[in-house]
């Protein structure tokens, strides 16, 4: 068999695979039940018969890694036992996945009785049972407390739903309509993926299809290896300190050594502290996923999304560490630690390629989980609202305000305010950017995003925050960002919560919570920023005139730059020790 496909046909098949994934995503959005899934907090991934990722459609880039992680267990358990119409389900973090609210469906795809691959979709569900609504709290010591754990099981068998399993799931979650509805939406999307793969193979033939995916795999690997080969060989180290263990206990020391040799790289977290007794541990599959997507974003952003991206990368996280915990450690609150992994990798890469790496961003996607009492029949009693902050400053441009992090990509967005207020008993009283928060530099870091929620019914609110005492770092002399904070307003009195990654609060009617996210780090010397850009930021109310003077040495009077006083002030600031 000819194992090469001409470049034009290769591009056609590659884009067809991506289009299948996108069509799966559109199906999911149109058939899902929960607001979380409808805003796009899911990923679609196509896998070949050997369990190798061959394409990704809509979703978060880091899901690639743990779809890859779950496939070996699937093939070991079900190899040779799968039939058309089967759909498997799993959410086991110790079986290659992330945390219990993330459930993946995997649909084996057959063409003329031959297994040609899997159509898969993972989505974050609104609840999974356990002690805390939404399944994300840090205050758990074992995974058994966090909710329903599904080993890889058949949700559908030859097209027939496993009614007993559906009943078990519905009986163990707070939002059965949402969860069952989303699972059915996932199944519909997977069937769309099956049909797309079958049509593709029918059109081009199995031999050409298999040759194309093998060639795309080699191409992606070659792109990554060529990019790594341009990085000077060496060991690039970065250390960080995670503020607290989620229970108010001591912080956690994180260590990274990025070892570049030739056209391969080792991401080594040896020396990182042991796993903790709370739920902020990160399962190994997710540590790998974060490492892969960070390197891909810098080295091979345009390469096809397949297993070839991962071949040149080895990830080492010592067993029993906070980045590779032993079962049954809790992992539901792993989100903020996940983003800290990314900050460390980018910090290490900045030493090797300073002209390519941006400063630290907002610290990770934040969220509000609101579980309230008195929900009407058919309404969801649990809301999870996600929101991003922005990027750190780049080597040649400012950070981008109010967007998702690189790690999240297009995998979900904030709930539109109008929809949130219609579907849940709350008001969004404020949503905007906080002045004087982006790290100063030749290029400014993104500003803090803040959201103020007013609750209309009693319940429980969990804020997943980001950096609370440490701050996003600047690069090449750029200033640091600002820490996050969470404020409770009750009876007109505002009270700051203690700085912690997870704020778990009982809320009463008319209480309000304001979450101010981190401001991102700056890049380069702030005294080298063009005074015209500083003036523009002042006029746009992104920074105050006083901040412009203190941080940038730019004097603004009557809406204009005072050039002479600015030159004198900057000269004075440069002479300071």
Model confidence pLDDT, tens digit, residues 487-531: 999 999 999 999 888 899 999 999 999 999 999 999 999 999 999
Q: What is the pLDDT of residue 297?
A: 82
Map out the domains of the chain as residue ranges. 7-221, 358-528, 530-575
* Dist. CA 319–CA 269, nearest whole Å: 11
Q: What is the pLDDT of residue 336?
A: 85
* Dist. CA 395–CA 138, nearest whole Å: 36
Say which residue, 363 or 531, is predicted with more confidence.
531
Would you say 548 and 537 are in contact if contact means Cβ atoms under 8 Å apart? Answer: yes
Q: What is the pLDDT of residue 1?
A: 42
Mind listing the pLDDT tens digit for each residue in 165-222? 999 999 999 999 999 999 999 999 999 999 999 999 999 999 999 999 999 999 999 9
Q: What is the pLDDT of residue 28?
A: 94
Could you tell me where the beta strands, DSSP code E, fall in 412-542?
426-434, 448-455, 459-464, 485-490, 493-496, 502-507, 512-516
Mind listing the pLDDT tens digit for each residue in 128-154? 999 999 988 888 999 999 999 999 999
Q: What is the pLDDT of residue 67?
A: 84
Mind listing the pLDDT tens digit for each residue in 255-304? 999 999 999 999 999 999 999 999 999 999 999 999 998 898 888 778 89
Share of the chain above pLDDT 90, in %: 78
- State the DSSP H helix or E strand holding residue 469, giving kind and residue range, or none if neither: none
User: Comparing C-alpha atoms, which of 1, 56, 51 is closest to residue 23?
Assistant: 56
* Dist. CA 43–CA 57, nearest whole Å: 7
Question: Using DSSP, how many helices (H) and how many strands (E) does the chain show?
Answer: 12, 22
Mean pLDDT of 83-88: 97
Q: pLDDT band at residue 3, thresholds of 50, 70 and 90?
A: low
Mind listing the pLDDT tens digit for each residue in 97-134? 989 999 999 999 999 999 999 999 999 999 999 999 99
- Mean pLDDT, rounded, of the chain: 92
Q: What is the pLDDT of residue 2?
A: 52
Q: In what order do the strands lie in the sheet with 382-387?
A: 382-387, 366-372, 459-464, 502-507
- The pTM for the full model equals 0.93
Q: pLDDT band at residue 410, thresholds of 50, 70 and 90?
A: low
CATH class of 7-221: alpha beta
Res. 321: pLDDT tops 90: yes
Would you say 352 and 306 are in contact if contact means Cβ atoms under 8 Å apart? Answer: no
Would you say 371 and 174 are in contact if contact means Cβ atoms under 8 Å apart? Answer: yes
């Amino acid at each position: 068999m000819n194992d090469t496909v001409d470049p034009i046909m290769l591009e056609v098949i590659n884009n067809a695979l991506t289009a299948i994934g996108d069509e799966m995503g559109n199906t999911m959005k149109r058939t899902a039940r929960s607001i979380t899934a409808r805003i796009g907090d899911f990923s679609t991934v196509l896998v070949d018969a050997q369990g190798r990722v061959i394409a990704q459609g809509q979703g978060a880039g880091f899901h690639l890694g743990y779809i890859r992680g779950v496939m070996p267990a699937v093939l070991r358990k079900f190899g040779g036992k799968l039939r058309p119409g089967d759909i498997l389900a799993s959410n086991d973090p110790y079986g290659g996945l992330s945390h219990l609210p993330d459930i993946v469906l995997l649909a084996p795809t057959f063409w003329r009785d031959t297994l040609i691959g899997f159509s898969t979709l993972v989505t974050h569900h609104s609840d999974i049972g356990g002690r805390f609504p939404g399944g994300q709290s840090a205050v758990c010591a074992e995974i058994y407390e966090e909710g329903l754990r599904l080993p890889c099981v058949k949700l559908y068998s030859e097209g027939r739903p496993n009614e007993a399993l559906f009943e078990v799931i519905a009986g163990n979650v707070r939002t059965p309509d949402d969860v069952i509805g989303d699972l059915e939406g996932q199944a519909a999307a997977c069937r769309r993926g099956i049909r797309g793969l079958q049509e593709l193979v029918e059109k081009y033939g199995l031999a050409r299809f298999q040759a194309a995916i093998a060639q795309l795999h080699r191409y992606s690997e070659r792109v990554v290896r060529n990019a790594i080969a341009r990085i000077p060989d060496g060991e690039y180290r970065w250390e960080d300190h995670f503020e607290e263990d989620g229970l108010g206990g001591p912080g956690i020391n994180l260590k990274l050594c990025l070892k570049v040799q030739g056209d391969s790289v080792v991401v080594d977290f040896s020396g990182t502290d042991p796993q903790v007794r709370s739920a902020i541990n990160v399962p190994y599959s997710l540590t790998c996923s974060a490492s892969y997507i960070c390197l891909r974003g810098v080295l091979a952003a345009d390469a096809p999304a397949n297993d070839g991206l991962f071949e040149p990368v080895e990830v080492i996280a010592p067993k029993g560490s906070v980045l590779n915990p032993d079962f049954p450690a809790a992992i539901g609150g792993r989100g903020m630690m996940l983003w800290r992994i990314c900050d460390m990798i980018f910090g290490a890469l900045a030493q090797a390629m300073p002209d390519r790496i941006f400063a630290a961003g907002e610290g990770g996607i934040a969220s509000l989980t609101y579980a309230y009492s008195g929900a009407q029949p058919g309404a969801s009693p649990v809301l999870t609202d996600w929101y991003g902050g922005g990027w750190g400053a780049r080597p040649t441009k400012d950070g981008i305000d109010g967007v998702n992090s690189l790690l999240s990509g297009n995998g979900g967005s904030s709930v539109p305010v109008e929809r949130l207020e219609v579907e849940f008993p709350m008001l969004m009283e404020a949503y905007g950017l906080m002045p004087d928060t982006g790290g100063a530099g030749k290029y400014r870091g993104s500003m803090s995003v803040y959201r103020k929620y007013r609750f209309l019914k009693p319940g429980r609110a969990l804020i997943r925050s980001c950096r609370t005492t440490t701050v996003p770092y600047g690069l090449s002399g750029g200033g640091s960002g600002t820490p996050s904070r969470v404020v409770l307003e009750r009876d007109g009195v505002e009270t700051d919560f203690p700085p912690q990654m997870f704020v778990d609060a009982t809320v009463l009617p008319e209480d309000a919570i304001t979450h101010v996210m981190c401001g991102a780090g700056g890049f380069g010397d702030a005294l080298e920023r063009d005074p015209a850009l500083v003036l523009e930021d002042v006029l746009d109310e992104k920074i105050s005139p006083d901040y412009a003077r203190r941080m940038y040495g730019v004097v603004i009077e009557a809406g204009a730059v005072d050039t002479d006083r600015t030159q004198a002030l900057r000269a004075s600031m440069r002479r300071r020790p």
